[in-house]
Amino acid sequence: MGFLDAFRKKEEPPTEPTMHKVRVDELHSWLEKNLSGEMSEARKRTTSILGEVADSFRQITESAERLGQSTFFGKDRLHTSANMLKDSFVKKTLSVSEQFQSLDSYPIDRKSLKELHDRMRSGLKDVKKTSPKQAVFLSRYFKKESNQVVDSIKKAEENLDSLRNLIEGDSVSPGFPETISESIREITELRNRASSMEKESDEMKDRVVYLKNLKEEKEKDYIELLKSREWKQINEKEKELSEIREEAVKLEMEIRNELSALRRPMKKLEHDSGSLTKSQRISLKGFLTEPFETYILPDGPADLKSLMKTLSDGMISGEIDLKDSDRGRVMHFIKRGEPQLSDVRSRLLERREMMADARKKIGHSAGVIKKKEDLEEDVKKHSTESDDVEEKIKKLASELERIKREIRKKKETLEQAILDKTGKLIKLSD
């Protein structure tokens, strides 16, 4: 350090703006308290500029009316055309300027002022759209009056530039409190929605707990039912019924296979039905179309035996000619197969009676079976509903997180806007 350095003034480090913690619902009143002067000044500037804008549009109206009163005297086509083009311009100009001559009660929020500014700009742009011929005639034959209109339009555009700068400027702008209020409203709506969703989520979670408890109770009742003496008896009866049913199926298949083997030899009788009695012809038709069902009938075995006897007699007499394999089947059935098939039929009918008896016994326990089915349905129903509600909770949680991110983003945007406009550093809280 040099000698003179000791006398130099030390530079103070830049100071950070004070952080103000403000609740969202208290932000508007906080701004009114801390920025009342800036907001009052903004309203004054806005009112003043709006007055100047209105004055400039009144000047446009006055100058356009003077232009309208002027005439290019003459009766030829040139004079007529010049006056018509002038009148057309005046009419278009007045249709725009007369809309904006009184702005005393116009709302001064930013959105309304921006819309007003854009409408005025658009109107003036339309007024300035003139054809080359119209521009030449106005500047040549109505130079003084048209120049006054042009000057008043330029003045209006200058005032609109001031209004635009005020709206888009970095300082506290007109409608700033309304803009803040709109942001607060949006954040509040999102918070209320998030609160409602959190409440709904909590109710759903309670519902899931209730359903799972209910499911556990039903599962407990279901297990106790399966362990009960009544269900064990039903289980034994159903097992017994299943075993009898399997035996019956095997016996039925055995009968069907044997009858199927005899079908081709019996078809020979169709061609020699004249030797059959009426009852034999009826039974033959049954054995050829529904062999098993026909054989199970009370007279089935006797009818089959009678047909086989007729077939055998025809074979012996030479009236019926069969292949050796079919002949062997017929002879085997007559000597050994008939009593064996009859025995199988008897056993099948016995099994059917046993099945009917078993079903009847199980039917006496219909209440227990119904209770089991109801418990199974309840467990499934509560499980499905619980899964559905949990899925809704997941979707709700995802949507809730999105809303919370949106709230945080809107808070940050609002905090930055206030810092940019006022230099005030704030932190918004719920």
Do 168 and 77 sit in the same domain of this protein? yes
* 190 and 430 Cβ atoms separated by less than 8 Å: no
Does 271 reside within a domain? yes
Of 352, 381, 410, the one marking the end of a domain is 381
Predicted confidence at residue 6, as pLDDT, reads 47
Does 120 reside within a domain? yes
Do 154 and 259 sit in the same domain of this protein? no
Predicted confidence at residue 298, as pLDDT, reads 92
Do 255 and 158 sit in the same domain of this protein? no
Do 372 and 238 sit in the same domain of this protein? yes
Do 234 and 370 sit in the same domain of this protein? yes
Do 270 and 369 sit in the same domain of this protein? yes
Does 29 reside within a domain? no
Do 140 and 236 sit in the same domain of this protein? no
Do 134 and 272 sit in the same domain of this protein? no
Does 412 reside within a domain? no
Predicted confidence at residue 36, as pLDDT, reads 61
Do 56 and 142 sit in the same domain of this protein? yes
Reduce the secondary structure of the chain to three states and give it as a string. CCCHHHHCCCCCCCCCCCEEEEEHHHHHHHHHHHCHHHHHHHHHHHHHHHHHHHHHHHHHHHHHHHHHHCCCCCCCHHHHHHHHHHHHHHHHHHHHHHHHCCCCCCCCCHHHHHHHHHHHHHHHHHHHCCCHHHHHHHHHHCHHHHHHHHHHHHHHHHHHHHHHHHHHCCCCCCCHHHHHHHHHHHHHHHHHHHHHHHHHHHHHHHHHHHHHHHHHHHHHHHHHHHHCHHHHHHHHHHHHHHHHHHHHHHHHHHHHHHHHHHHHHHHHHHCCHHHCCHHHHHHHHHHHHCHHHHHHCCCHHHHHHHHHHHHHHHHHHCCCCCCHHHHHHHHHHHHHHHHHHHHHHHHHHHHHHHHHHHHHHHHCCHHHHHHHHHHHHHHHHHHHHHHHHHHHHHHHHHHHHHHHHHHHHHHHHHHHHHHHHHCCEEEEEC
pTM of the model: 0.50
Domain count of the chain? 2
Do 268 and 169 sit in the same domain of this protein? no
Does 31 reside within a domain? no
Does 25 reside within a domain? no
Q: Which domain covers residue 354, as residue numbers?
A: 230-381
Do 238 and 377 sit in the same domain of this protein? yes
Does 88 reside within a domain? yes
Do 153 and 259 sit in the same domain of this protein? no
Mean pLDDT by 10 residues, the chain (430 residues): 47 65 79 66 77 85 84 73 83 84 71 84 86 81 84 88 75 62 85 92 94 92 87 83 92 91 85 77 90 91 88 81 83 84 92 86 77 89 93 94 91 82 78
Using left for φ > 0, alpha for ψ between -120 and 50, and beta otherwise, residue 74 falls in left
Does 28 reside within a domain? no
